[in-house]
Amino acid sequence: MRALISVTDKTGIEELAKGLKDLGVEIVSTGGTYKKINDAGIEAIEIDQITNFPEILEGRVKTLSPYVHGGILYKRDDENHVNTVKEHNIKPIDIVVVNLYEFQKALEKGNPDNIIENIDIGGPSMVRSAAKNHKDVLIVTDPADYDELLERLKNDEIDLLYRQKLAMKAYNLTAFYDSIIARYFSKLIGEEGKYKTYGFEKESDLRYGENPGQEAALYNDPFVKGLMENIEVIHGKEMSYNNYNDLNPALELAQELGEKAVVALKHQSPCGVAVGSDIYDSYTKAFECDSQSIFGGIVAVNGIVDGKTASKMHEIFLEIIAASDFTDEALEILTQKKNVRLVRVNFDNETVKEEIRYLNGKVLIQGKDFGKDEVEIVTNKKPNEAEIKDLLFAQKVVKYVKSNAIVVAKDMKTLGCGAGQQSRVWALESIRDHFKDRDFTGAVLGSDAFFPFSDTVELAHEMGISSIIEPGGSIRDKDSIDKCNEYNMSMVFSKSRHFKH
């Protein structure tokens, strides 16, 4: 039996080589792998002794040879194949242990020449060849599989199911690897091809999904350095599916609003948002928006949580507190509760440029809703400077509220978020009815889409709201504009719809 070993990740390779040698397996190897095995005192054959040709083109060509691929690909139960390899003096290769050049690491370093040189050619070719002929050849691409391989060889427990499992992992690796390369070139030229490729690397299994009856796992997209890329859970229980799912929009909104922003979120929609004079002021205002819904929710802080803010947070149960950082005093206070998850996040990371939704057999992909800080005044009354500031703030928040959505805000803090209603006016009614004693005088209103009727304007006037921002675009825009003029309210069109379903 002969094994070909050629790896970039050399984890455990000496132990594997020794184990194979002890089982009587002849080892063929390449370059750095051969040197490492040889230096460990394990006998191996260099690849050029098999190919009868030296490694050329700075290593670009070393295993692309019929003496390699013939030895891997021929069918052991096909007489014609057996006669062919004998005729050409090609010896069988029964085990292929290969992993690939570190393209991702080269990508991170950013040197274009180095990136291209780290596109592996021979490695994927050997992996695919061995996986295709898995009935006769064992293909091992993951160092985590070395121990099981040796144990199965030792006990003669190599069955077809095991071979198929290794083949699956092999093609899984090459598909992932090629997806990263394809996305690199797509980004380079600013165009998409016919096929949309994504490669996700499994990070961990989760206890369950949205509900206990659903399986779930967390995957990492190595091509994107997004907000969730390097979050660090520094205290608390293991993160759940719902934790990750809720944390993401909270972080995105906190990032979009900038430093000192605090976002409280529950079930995928903000319940309190503020940008105050400092983090304590922001958190207090976000809490005051909806002190009931924030309980058991997620809080994202674009800044450092200090002791004073931590003491305020400690008064209620919060599932997650995510922040740029925490002072020592804050950590001392917040870690007193075992169940609260404290997460450190880098708000300087980029945000993703697209969103993916997997349907039942179809996939929807869309660009991220960034919107614009542009307004067109459409009423006789113009909003003042403070109102303009609040209108833009409300528009940013409403992007993250489930549709149909309304946000009422004043002084850079939300006074109410109406989410997920079938009728837009119901979203505003839910704010009015939930906060019966709240003074909305002089507040502004942000809507995720246009008003098909003037009923929302009429209710806003009754509540004391002074200015409205909405996209416009309804055939009945004039009805709402006329109502605003009648009530001496100002209205601006953003011309950007912000549905979030």
Let me know: does 74 contact 132? Beta carbons within 8 Å. no
Establish if 354 belongs to a structural domain. Answer: no
Query: Same structural domain for residues 162 and 233?
Result: no
CATH code for the domain in which residue 27 is found: 3.40.50.1380
Query: Residue 264 is inside which H or E element, if any?
Result: strand 261-266
Pairing mode, if any, of strands 298-305 and 261-266? antiparallel
Q: What distance in Å separates the CA atoms of residue 225 and residue 102, rounded to the nearest whole number?
A: 17
Query: Same structural domain for residues 47 and 173?
Result: yes
pLDDT in tens, 386-444: 999 999 999 999 999 999 999 999 999 999 999 988 888 999 999 999 999 999 999 99
- Tokens at 202, concatenated: 């499994």
Establish if 352 belongs to a structural domain. Answer: no
Let me know: does 343 contact 254? Beta carbons within 8 Å. no
Q: What are phi and psi of 176, to 5 degrees?
A: -60, -50
User: What's the pLDDT score for residue 334?
Assistant: 97
User: What's the pLDDT score for residue 57?
Assistant: 81
Query: Same structural domain for residues 181 and 289?
Result: no
- Tokens at 180, concatenated: 């990263």
Cα angle 223-201-253, degrees, rounded to a multiple of 5: 55
Establish if 6 belongs to a structural domain. Answer: yes
Q: What distance in Å separates the CA atoms of residue 78 and residue 391, rounded to the nearest whole number?
A: 75
Across the chain, mean pLDDT equals: 92
The residues annotated as belonging to the active site are 132, 267
**Mean pLDDT (whole number) for 245-258:** 95
Q: Which long-range contacts link 477-486 to residues 24+ away (Cβ below 8 Å)?
A: 477/378, 477/450, 477/451, 479/451, 479/453, 479/454, 480/451, 480/453, 480/454, 480/456, 481/378, 481/379, 482/454, 483/454, 483/457, 483/458, 484/379, 484/381, 484/457, 485/379, 485/380, 485/381
205: how many CB neighbours lie within 10 A of its CB?
10
- Under DSSP, the state recorded for 141 is -
* pTM, full prediction: 0.87
Q: Is the pLDDT of residue 58 over 80?
A: no
Q: Is 405 exposed, middle or buried (0-12, 13-18, 19+ CB in 10 A)?
A: buried
pLDDT in tens, 440-499: 999 999 999 998 889 999 999 999 999 999 999 899 989 999 999 999 999 999 988 888
Torsion sign (Cα): 268, 273, 278, 280: negative
Establish if 16 belongs to a structural domain. Answer: yes
Establish if 408 belongs to a structural domain. Answer: yes
Domain of residue 314: give its range: 229-344
Query: Same structural domain for residues 383 and 335?
Result: no
Establish if 33 belongs to a structural domain. Answer: yes
Q: What distance in Å separates the CA atoms of residue 246 and residue 310, rounded to the nearest whole number?
A: 21
Establish if 429 belongs to a structural domain. Answer: yes
Query: Same structural domain for residues 332 and 415?
Result: no
Query: Same structural domain for residues 276 and 394?
Result: no
Query: Same structural domain for residues 432 and 386?
Result: yes
Query: Same structural domain for residues 438 and 319?
Result: no
Establish if 219 belongs to a structural domain. Answer: no
- If one compares 169 and 120, the residue with the highest pLDDT of the two is 169
What are the beta bridge partners of residue 493?
376, 470
Q: How confident is the model at residue 280 (pLDDT cuts 50, 70, 90)?
A: very high
User: What's the pLDDT score for residue 202?
Assistant: 92
Query: Same structural domain for residues 178 and 239?
Result: no
Query: Same structural domain for residues 394 and 282?
Result: no
- Domains in the chain, number: 3
Window from 190-194, 210-214, 468-472, 476-480 with minimum mean pLDDT: 190-194
Q: What are phi and psi of 293, to 5 degrees?
A: -70, -30
142: how many CB neighbours lie within 10 A of its CB?
16
Query: Same structural domain for residues 163 and 92?
Result: yes
Q: Under the phi-then-psi rule, with left for phi > 0, alpha for psi from -120 to 50, and beta for the rest, what region is 151?
A: alpha
Query: Same structural domain for residues 77 and 154?
Result: yes
Query: Residue 28 is inside which H or E element, if any?
Result: strand 26-29
CATH code for the domain in which residue 306 is found: 3.40.140.20
Q: Is the pLDDT of residue 373 over 80?
A: no
Q: What distance in Å separates the CA atoms of residue 254 and residue 276, rounded to the nearest whole number?
A: 13
